[in-house]
Amino acid sequence: MIKNRYKLHVSSIIIIGLLLSLAVGYIIYSMEEKAIKNSFENIVDNKMKSFYREILVNLETLYTLSILFNDNKTPSKEEFAKEAKKIIKRHNAIQALEWIPKVENKNRKEFEKEFFFTKQLPNKSMQRVEEKEFYFPVYYVEPYKNNEKALGFDLSSNPSRNQTIQAALKTKSPQITQAIELVQYNNKKGFLAFLPIFDKKEEIRGFVLGVFVIEDIFEKSVLNDDFSKDTSFKIFDHNSSKKEPIFTYNLENKNYKHIKYKKDLPQMWSRQWNFEAIPNVNYIIQNRSIAFELSLIVGVLLTIIVSYKINRDHNQKLESIQQLKNKDDILYIQSRYATIGETLSNIEHQWRSPLSKLSSNVIAIQSELEFKGIPTKQKLLNFLDNMQNTLNYMGNLVDEFKNFHIQDKSKESFLFSNTLDVALKLLEHDFIKLKVEVIRNKKDNMQLFGYQNEFSQVLINILSNSRDAFIGRKISNPIIQIQTYTKESKNYIKIRDNAGGIEEEHIENIFEQFYSTKDSSGIGLHLSKMIISEHMDGNIEVENCKFSLLSKRHKGTTFIIELPIVNLV
């Protein structure tokens, strides 16, 4: 009986209690952080959806304006301006609406009656564009004020705009440019949207173009409550080679960098934008409760109140656990001692013959001395050699069994056949006495990995159960068949006997601790299952079987061991 061996001091209990309080507080803090994060992400999701819807609403205006071009018609400048003014009045994010016809070079003069087709030079000045196959000039623009210079500007002369035009011509679908600085609108970031207009042959004859300001769309859809004041936003363009954001808001705030939410907007006219939001410290403070502080206070109080009781109960539990542990250790030692008993029995049996041989040599020497006098040197050396060989054999036999009982220090790869040889050697005396016929694979190179002596114990336990069944049931021609094979990247070992099998009511519990169908501890097969499953990452099963062998039908028990294949590097 172990009494108070691991008794804890009250101060130790208090320290543990404080650590537990901190752990609980951290868990509460983490859960609250997760809740804040989830709430933040939900709000951002709604903001993002609102932003996306607002973009779609603005883009939809281009379809409204495109009605003027139905049936292959082209509206007059006045008709275009009238409808465009109505749209711009309702949507403040639209900075301009334009008609961009596709003009062949042969028709250029017809379109250059009021203005020339121009391009912008690196110094920002405008110059008449050179001749080429097609032009995409700004032909109508609303509002006209502040956009006078845009009239006649050939969008295909600008590389980035031409890239978008070519994409629209190729895919015959609406396109959006990458973000650009709108010089005439205080360098705000915006984008151009090209809506193709088709002729009766489904060829593009031009584009209805919209100039949109990202900031205005963002303000209308996102900045409509206090949440936005406590959040920093960034918008990125996945299609752009530039890594910097196309729009930012509130970056000067002191951000809470432990929470960062990124999400892609649905694709808009072949453009993919990404939304990023980070809350600032003020948002976190406003949404965090005092649960963390309360948990610490409550934890400290509870620790002080129950420290004495925990200490007393802990000692009682330690005593009970130690009793159980000692019991398990005793049972394991008993199992090992039983095997040692088997070993000593075999050594005793196998020493009988060499001991008789030694005795014969001693008697022979005595006879020589008594009846013939001192034997010759050669004859004496022969006697001594015979005795030495016999002693070496006996010593090797002891070493062989001693190595089996040495505790393995580390896992290693080993041959199944070598381990089986050791197990059969240990039970050789009983098997010879019972005339047990062991049938095994002739060539067996199965490689296993684990503690070899532990695995030997498993084989001994299984073979010993067969031996005991042979004895108990008085089987006249006992047989044990051992097969090995590989299937579906697994090694399988099948050991079966003809001892009549296990009763069905017992077979399901055969691996349970302390369960036995005979007068024994019931720990052998339990230990075997523990070794195979926990130490060798395998599985062991048992089943009753009927099989034909040596022209006879047999009934018995089959143990199937499943182990992983060893990959030797």
Give the per-residue pLDDT at 65. 94
The rounded distance, in Å, linking the Cα atoms of 520 and 523 is 8
- The answer to whether 276 touches 262, Cβ cutoff 8 Å, is yes
Q: Specify the amino acid at residue 432.
A: I
Q: Are strands 231-237 and 247-249 parallel, antiparallel or unpaired?
A: antiparallel
Buried b (16+ CB within 10 A) or exposed e, 169-189: beeeebbbbbbbebeebeebb
Please report where in the chains the tokens 């199992």 appear, as a residue.
335
Q: Which residue(s) pair with 552 in the sheet? A: 549
Contact 190, 178 (CB under 8 A): no
Helix (H) or strand (E) holding 65, with range, is helix 10-66
What residues does each domain of the chain span? 1-288, 407-568
Q: Strand 479-487 relative to strand 437-440: parallel, antiparallel, unpaired? A: parallel
Find where tokens 């281009």 sit: 62
Nearest-angstrom CA–CA distance, 225 and 219:
11
CA distance 460 to 347: 16
Among 127, 128, 92, 88, CA closest to 109: 128
Q: Do 79 and 99 touch, CB atoms closer than 8 A? A: no
AA identity, residue 275? F
264: helix, strand or coil: strand
- Asked if 270 contacts 300 with a C-beta cutoff of 8 angstroms, the reply is no
For residue 273, what pLDDT is reported? Answer: 93
Identify residue 178 by its one-letter amino acid code: Q
pLDDT of residue 523: 57
In the Cβ-directed half-sphere of 499, how many Cα atoms lie within 13 Å?
A: 27
The one-letter amino acid at 290: I
d(CA 558, CA 562): 13
Contact 177, 166 (CB under 8 A): no
Residues 6+ apart with CB under 8 A from 16: 303
Question: Where does 407-568 sit in CATH, by number?
Answer: 3.30.565.10
Complete DSSP assignment for 115-183: S--EEE-TTS-EEEPPP-SEE-B--EEES-TT-GGGTTBBGGGSHHHHHHHHHHHHHTS-EEPPPEEEG
Helix, strand or coil for residue 366? helix
Which bin fits 439, alpha (ψ -120 to 50), beta or left (φ > 0)? Answer: beta
- Grouping H, G, I as helix, E, B as strand and the rest as coil, residue 417 is helix
Residue matched to tokens 């028990």 = 557
d(CA 266, CA 71): 32
Torsion of CA 105, 109, 110, 115, to 10 degrees: 110
Query: 539 phi and psi, to 5 degrees?
Result: -150, 150
Residue with tokens 């084989």: 459
* Sign (positive or negative) of CA dihedral 444, 445, 449, 451: positive
Q: Which fold has domain 1-288?
A: Beta-Lactamase (3.30.450)
What amino acid is encoded at 171 in this protein? Answer: T
Q: Where are the alpha helices (DSSP H) in 488-545?
A: 504-507, 524-530
**Residue owning tokens 């008794």:** 7
Distance CA 15, CA 559 (A): 51
Identify the CA nearest to 542 among candidates 470, 461, 471: 461
The alpha helices in 368-451, defined as continuous H runs, are 377-405, 416-426, 428-434
pLDDT (tens digit, 0 to 9) for every residue of the chain, 569 residues total? 444 444 555 566 677 777 777 887 788 888 888 888 999 999 999 999 999 999 999 999 999 999 999 988 999 999 999 999 999 999 999 999 999 999 999 999 999 888 899 998 988 888 999 999 999 999 999 998 888 888 999 999 999 899 999 999 999 999 999 998 887 667 789 999 999 999 888 899 999 999 999 999 999 999 888 788 889 999 999 988 888 898 998 887 788 888 899 999 999 898 899 999 999 888 888 888 777 777 778 767 777 776 666 566 666 666 765 665 555 455 555 555 555 555 555 555 455 555 655 666 667 677 777 777 677 777 777 767 666 666 665 665 565 455 544 555 578 888 999 889 888 887 887 888 899 999 998 777 889 998 888 888 889 889 988 998 999 899 999 999 999 999 988 999 999 999 999 888 888 888 886 666 665 544 578 888 888 888 889 999 999 999 888 788 999 999 999 999 877 55
Q: What's the CA gap between 289 and 292, in Å, rounded?
A: 8
Residue count of the chain: 569
The residues facing 94 across adjacent strands are 212
Say how far apart CA 56 and CA 174 lie, in whole Å.
Answer: 12
Phi, psi of 220 (to 5 degrees): -70, -35
Structure-block tokens of residue 153 = 């500007």
Looking at this protein, which amino acid is placed at residue 166? Q
The partner residues of 389 in beta bridges, in order of sequence, read: none
- What's at 528, amino acid-wise? S
